[in-house]
Structure 1
């Protein structure tokens, strides 16, 4: 696998871990450590969008080069070291758990911007009715939203890492003798 694939996979993996950590910070008691989270997400979106776009392009290019042979893609995926598999599986499980846990809370409410020192939420169960809530409820709803807001891009980064690693394996030249280095 070429160095550009390793750097790209490492960058998407690192960004995924940072996003997952930001999502996990919403589990801490008290007000959100990240404030409203919009500034943090905007800062992380700057590298996120180009990395994801490049991963999609590399995946398409590698798929075209392999003739969209799913068997070769599966063999390339299976040829990754077990430690990489385990780490990616832990990231996917943690990201899915964080995203799922955010859907359990909130009771069908989503926070709205405060107005005049009062806090409001949209009740999705009652035809999107606006309801007034306490500050504590508002902070809890914001944390649920932030958890999802960071967990889903973390899962996308993990998926992009897998795509880049598979593309790197598929673009790797075959060693002399015809052995692909993958499982038989």
Structure 2
């Protein structure tokens, strides 16, 4: 596999792991000193879209392989790499499910004129609602978790796409090596 695939996957996987690592503790009691959800969303957009776009471009226009070849390419990746990527994607999916279960119908926590307000999304009661500081912090933390969990999971998937594409290209690009086969003449191998 070419080094560019490894670097691309390392950037996507590393950024995804970092986002998921920061998002995980937001489920615990207490408030983490994280930047605003808007900043996190911009940061996620700046990292996710270029890395995912390039991965899809590489996969679609340079890969051109079918689903069976993708599975074989995945199985050819080193075991620890496969385990790390599957664990990272699994953790991201689990965090998304937990975030969906923990989040209520309120989002977009803001401070306006010294008051804490959130956007109520319940049908029939949709609009801006004033809340106390505790509710404001809970909604803000849920917004931060969502701004980290979804992009982190997407980046973990991007790393997987890149490595599978790189492995499939490596397998398609060169001749099959017969050096690992047993010698036909019955001699010993050195």
TM-score by structure 1 length?
Answer: 0.84
Which one has the largest radius of gyration? 2
Question: After the TM superposition, which residues 30-179 of structure 1 pair with which residues of structure 2 at under 5 Å, given as runs?
Answer: 30-64=30-64, 66=65, 69-127=66-124, 128-172=126-170, 173-177=173-177
Q: Aligned-pair distance for 1:98?
A: 1.5
Change in 2 beyond 3 A, CA 1:118/1:97: same
Q: Aligned-pair distance for 1:74?
A: 1.5
The answer on whether the counterparts of 2:92 and 2:149 sit within 8 Å (CA) in structure 1 is yes
Q: Aligned-pair distance for 1:28?
A: 4.4
Alpha-carbon distance in 2 for matches of 1:152, 1:110: 16
Deviations 1:11-34, CA, capped at 9 Å, x for gaps: 111111111122124234333311
Alpha-carbon distance in 2 for matches of 1:29, 1:140: 9
The answer on whether the counterparts of 1:6 and 1:165 sit within 8 Å (CA) in structure 2 is yes
Match of 1:182 in 2: none
Alpha-carbon distance in 2 for matches of 1:122, 1:41: 17
SS across alignment from 1:111 = strand
Alpha-carbon distance in 2 for matches of 1:131, 1:37: 19
Alpha-carbon distance in 1 for matches of 2:8, 2:178: 27
The answer on whether the counterparts of 2:48 and 2:154 sit within 8 Å (CA) in structure 1 is no
**Runs of 4+ residues over 2 Å off in structure 1:** 27-32, 37-49, 61-64, 173-179
* Structure 2 unmatched ranges of 5 or more: 180-190
Alpha-carbon distance in 1 for matches of 2:37, 2:121: 22
The answer on whether the counterparts of 1:59 and 1:163 sit within 8 Å (CA) in structure 2 is yes
* Structure 1 unmatched ranges of 5 or more: 180-184
The answer on whether the counterparts of 1:12 and 1:51 sit within 8 Å (CA) in structure 2 is yes
Q: Aligned-pair distance for 1:142?
A: 0.9
Q: How many residues align?
A: 176
Alpha-carbon distance in 2 for matches of 1:106, 1:51: 28
The answer on whether the counterparts of 2:40 and 2:148 sit within 8 Å (CA) in structure 1 is no
